Chain A
Amino acid sequence: MAEATAIGRPAAPVLEGRPGDAELTDALLSPIFQPGPRVARGWLLLVGLAVLATGVFGVAIGATLTLGIGAWGNDIPVAWAFAIVNFVWWIGIGHAGTFISAFLLLLQQSWRSSINRLAEAMTLFAVVQAGLFPILHLGRPWFFYYLVPYPATTGVWPQFRSALPWDAAAIFTYLTVSFLFWYLGLLPDLASARDRAPTRLRQRLYGVFALGWNGSMRHWHRHRIAYGLLAGLATPLVISVHSIVSLDFAIASLPGWHSTIFPPYFVVGALYSGFAMVITLLVPVRRAFGLERVVTARHLDALAKLTLAMGLLITYAYVCELFTAWYTGDLYERYVAFVSRPLGGFAGAYWLMLACNVLAPHLLWLRRVRTRGLPLLGVAVLIQVGMWTERFVIVVTSLSRDFLPSSWGSYAPTWVDWSLLGGSIGFFGLLFLLFLRVVPFVPIAELKELRETRPEGLEATA
C-alpha cells in the first residue's frame, strides 16, 4: 500500500483477523444494544458532565443575549476576541472529518473505512459549535438575516465585497453537505441496526431513519453513485470553507491580518487541529469499546503521520509570515511580528502557540509515540491547545497593537467568555457521546466490503 511502501516498513493491517458477517455486525452494534456494564456506567457519567457543561453554555448565551456583547471582555480596539477565536477553532476542527471521508475516499485509502464515520460525526458537531458563534457575536443577533440575500421591502441587499456574507454561506453549505454525507454513509448501518434492534420500538425508530433501505443491488448501486458524487462535492469544500474564513481577516488592512498566505495557512491549520481532534476522540473510544481489532495501530500510525505533515506545513506558514513581515519593511507589520507578538502583553500565548504547534508534533517522528494510545493522545491535546492559542494570537494580539499608538489597548476575558469556550466543548462532547450510543460509529457495511474486496489489506504485508 502506498503509505506502507513509502516508509518501506511493513504496515500493520487495517483489520485484524477474518471475523464473520454476524460476528462483525454484533461486535460493532454492541455499543448500542448491549454495552458492557462498565462502559454503560462510564458513558452515563460522561454524559452527566457534558450536560452540566452544556448548561453553563446556555447560561453564558443567555447572558450574552440579555446584557449584550458588553458582557464579554471585548473593547475598542479589540472588538473581536474569544467568540471569533472559538469560531475559527471549531470550524477548523470540523475539517478533518470531510478530509478523511471524502479526500481519502477519492484517493482510495482503504484504512479510512473504520474511522470515517466517527470523523464525519465529529465534523458535524464541530461545525454546529462553529455556527453558533458568529450569530452570538453580532451586536444585534436578531438581525442576522440582514446578511442573507433576500428581497427586502427596503430594497437593500447584503454587501458582497465583505467576506462575512460569504462566510455565512460557506458555513451553512458545509454544515448541509457534511450532514448529508454523514447520513448517506449511515443508511446501510441504520438498516442493520433496524434489523438487530431488540425492541419493536427501536426497530421502528431505526426503520424510519433507514428510509426503507433493503440492501438490494439497486439500493447499493445508487448509494455508491450518490456517495461518490457527494465526496466529489465535499472535497473542494474542505479547501474553500476555511479559505473563506481566512478572508474574514485577510481582507482587512490590519497588520497581522493583511496577508496573502492566510487561505492555505488556515486550511492547513484547520486540518492540523482536525486530525488532532480525531485522535483525541478515537484513542479513548477504541479503548473503551475494545475495538483494537477494527481500529488498529495502523490507523493511529497513519493519522499521526498526517498530523506530523500538517505540523511541518504550519511551521512553514509561521516562518513565511515572519519573513514577509521583515521583507516588506513595513513599520507596522514588523512591529506586530517582532515586537507585540513575541514581547507584548500577550507574549505568553505566542510562545505557548509555538511550543504546542511547532515543537510538540516532532514527537510523532517516533513510531512508539505514533502507535501507542496515550502518548499520541497527549500530543494531540497539546496541538488542540496550540491551535486555539494561534487564533488568539492572530485575533487579539494583532488588534491590540494597530496603527495609532494612541488607540492601543488590551483585552481581558470575562466569565462569560470562558463559559462560552468551555460550554461549547461540553456541548460538543454531549453530542458526540449521544452519537456513540445511538448509531454504529464504525461503518459496518464498509468493513465487510473491505474484508471482501481488499483481502491483501488484512494481513501484514511485506
Chain B
Amino acid sequence: MPALFPRWSNALLAAALVGLAVLAFGGLGFLMLFQRTVFVTGEGRPLAQPVAFDHRHHAGDDAIDCRYCHDLAERSPRAGIPPTSRCLGCHSQIWNESPALAAVWRSFEADRPIAWTRVYVLPDFVFFDHSAHVTHGVGCVTCHGRVDRMARVEQAVPLTMRWCVDCHRDPGPRLRPRGEIASMTWRAADPAQGHALATRYAVAPGTDCSTCHR
C-alpha cells in the first residue's frame, strides 16, 4: 500500500499551521492600523462644493477674518455657515457679474439655500462647541488647518477621539492669544507661553465623558 501522503506534505502541513496563525493575528493587526488611516479618518480629501468658493482668495489674498463669514463661532456651538445674503453683501458690489457667482444669485433669487458639502464630519454622539474653544485661545487653524492655502477645503486633522483627548489633557501647546484666534500664520514666541495662557484663560477642559458626550 503506497504512502497516504507524499513526503512534502509534512512541510506543507507545518506551513499551513504557521500561515493560519499569521492570518489570524495579522488580520487583527491590519484592522487596527486601517482604522488609523485617512481612508477612515477622511483627512486630506478636498471636496467639491456647489459653489467654487476659494478660501485661498478670501482668507488668503483678501485676508478676510474667518469670523466675518463664520460669525457664530464665538457665541454658538456652531461656527455658522454664512447665509447667501452674506456672500452678496460684498458681491452685489464687486465681481457681481462673475459666472462663479451664478449659483449664489440663483439661491438668492429663488430664496433656496445653497446646500454645501460638509467637510468636518465629527464622529457621532459628540457635542462640540465652537464658542467654548474659540473664546479660550484655540485658533481656527489649529483644527481646520491652513484654509488660506486650500482651493477646496479639506479635513486637516484626524478627528479621532484620541486626537481630541490629547489636547484636552494638555491644551497649553495649542493655545494662542485671543487676538490671534483667526490668524493663519501665528507662531508661539516661546513654548512656555501656551501654559501661561492656559492659566490666564482658566482653560481646564477636562476629559469627563460628559464634556463631549451627553
Contacts and interface: CB of A to CB of B under 8 A. Distances in A.
- Indicate yes or no for A touching B, C-beta below 8 A: yes
Interface of A: 150-156, 194, 203-204, 207-208, 211-212
B4 interface: yes
Q: Is the interface of B mostly helix, strand, loop or mixed?
A: helix
B36 A155 contact: no
A153 B158 CA distance: 10
Nearest to B10: A212
Interface string B11-38: 0010000000000000010001001100
Contacts of B5: 204, 207, 212
Interface of B: 4-5, 10, 13, 28, 32, 35-36, 160-162, 165
Among all A-B residue pairs, the 4 with the closest Cβ atoms: A154-B161, A155-B162, A153-B160, A207-B4
Nearest to A206: B4
B32 A154 contact: no
Contacts, number: 27
Contacts of B32: 150-151
A194 B162 contact: no
B159 to A, nearest CB: 10
A153 to B, nearest CB: 4
Contact of B4 (A153, A154, A203, A211): A203
Contacts of A151: 32
A194 B4 CA distance: 9
25 contacts: A150-B28, A150-B32, A151-B32, A152-B35, A153-B35, A153-B36, A153-B160, A153-B162, A154-B160, A154-B161, A154-B162, A155-B161, A155-B162, A155-B165, A156-B161, A194-B4, A203-B4, A204-B4, A204-B5, A207-B4, A207-B5, A208-B13, A211-B13, A212-B5, A212-B13
Given A150-B32, A153-B35, 17 more contacts: A150-B28, A152-B35, A153-B36, A153-B160, A153-B162, A154-B160, A154-B161, A154-B162, A155-B162, A156-B161, A194-B4, A204-B4, A207-B4, A207-B5, A208-B13, A211-B13, A212-B5
Contacts of A155: 161-162, 165
Nearest to A208: B13
Contacts of A203: 4
Nearest to A212: B10
